[in-house]
Amino acid sequence: MHKKTRTVFYLILNIIFSIIIVLLNKWIYVHLGFPNITLSMIHFAVTSIGLLICEKLDVFCVKSVAAKDMILIATTFCGFVVLTNLSLAYNTVGTYQVAKMLTTPCVIMMQMCFYDKHFSVMIKLTLIPIALGVIINFYYDLQFNIRGTIYAGLGVIVTSLYQVWVNRKQKEFQMDPMQLLYYQAPISAAMLFIIIPVLEPLDNTIIRHWSCFDISIVLLSSIVAFFVNLTSYWIIGYTSPLTYNMVGHCKFCLLLLGGAIIFHESLAFNQTTGIALTLGGIILYAHVKMKDNRSSPSDSTMEEGKSLVHKI
């Protein structure tokens, strides 16, 4: 397959899988009421199996690292996946997507406060419309609820922490995202398996009767989640960070449309304004960031998209 054709093929697959996983998970929460932590654990387990198969097929090479060095990353991995899934369960698809955009300002704030990173004035200015747009969206959200807002806020904080740490681990161990995920996924699955009996009563999982259709949908969701990661890995290898960011903006808009069509999520005019402001800020941030990185490649910081697993 020609390189350009292959790249376009990977981009299309990634867009399709990324949209399906969000809408499918939302459908599972709305119509099946499947336990969140159990669903996340199954996702991790299936991802682990998929990575083992990929390693056997020489899709990537495993790099040896001590499991104890992965514990902290695996813990935040569990936290951000569970919390963002809870945000999806209790918020509209649109609000869930907009809230995730706060990860960029949060990552930058963490790097400035705890790692003495420096950013240009233009980068800092692009964060204003992002944050303002998210606030406007939440304020005018027709389905606003306190629990969903709390989950969304905690999800942003833990996701940002995870992205900062995973970026540092990639540099420390000279590992690509797939090599890192190879260790994270099984450790995270084991962690969630241990806490499920405490946080999710057995009558919600094992004792409750699940039909073959229910189980099939959950397994389909897990397989799609794995392919989101796999296609993201291919995109990072074959395209630029700018392309990856633009694909992200495309998915953002398509998911808003999908939420409106499938789950009948209506948007107030002011909420739409907030979403447009957030999206505009993210696009401006990507443009300024790429420009800064071209002029000072040695001072480049973590690009969104360098970590695969925030797409689960």
Please write down the HEC assignment for all residues of 18-48.
HHHHHHHHHHHHHHHCCCHHHHHHHHHHHHH
Higher pLDDT, 216 or 253: 216
Q: Tell me, yes or no, whether 144 lies in a domain.
A: yes
Q: Tell me, yes or no, whether 240 lies in a domain.
A: yes
pLDDT in tens, 174-232: 888 889 999 999 999 999 999 988 888 665 555 567 889 999 999 999 999 999 988 88
Question: Across the chain, what does the average pLDDT equal?
Answer: 86
Q: Tell me, yes or no, whether 162 lies in a domain.
A: yes
Is there a contact between 99 and 87 (Cβ–Cβ < 8 Å)? Answer: yes
- Total domain count, the chain: 1
CA dihedral angle for residue 110, residue 287, residue 8, residue 174, rounded to 10 degrees: -40
Range of the domain at 23: 7-311
What is the pLDDT at residue 306? 46
What Cα–Cα distance (Å) separates residue 249 from each residue in 5, 20, 99, 158?
21, 16, 14, 22
Q: Tell me, yes or no, whether 172 lies in a domain.
A: yes
Q: Tell me, yes or no, whether 70 lies in a domain.
A: yes
**pTM of the entire predicted model:** 0.86
CA-angle at 73, arms to 102 and 168, nearest 5° = 75
Say if residue 46's pLDDT is above 50.
Answer: yes
Q: Tell me, yes or no, whether 90 lies in a domain.
A: yes
Confidence of residue 303 (pLDDT cuts 50, 70, 90): very low
Q: Tell me, yes or no, whether 1 lies in a domain.
A: no
Chain centroid to Cα 95, Å, comes to 14
pLDDT in tens, 227-242: 998 888 887 766 665 5
Q: Tell me, yes or no, whether 270 lies in a domain.
A: yes
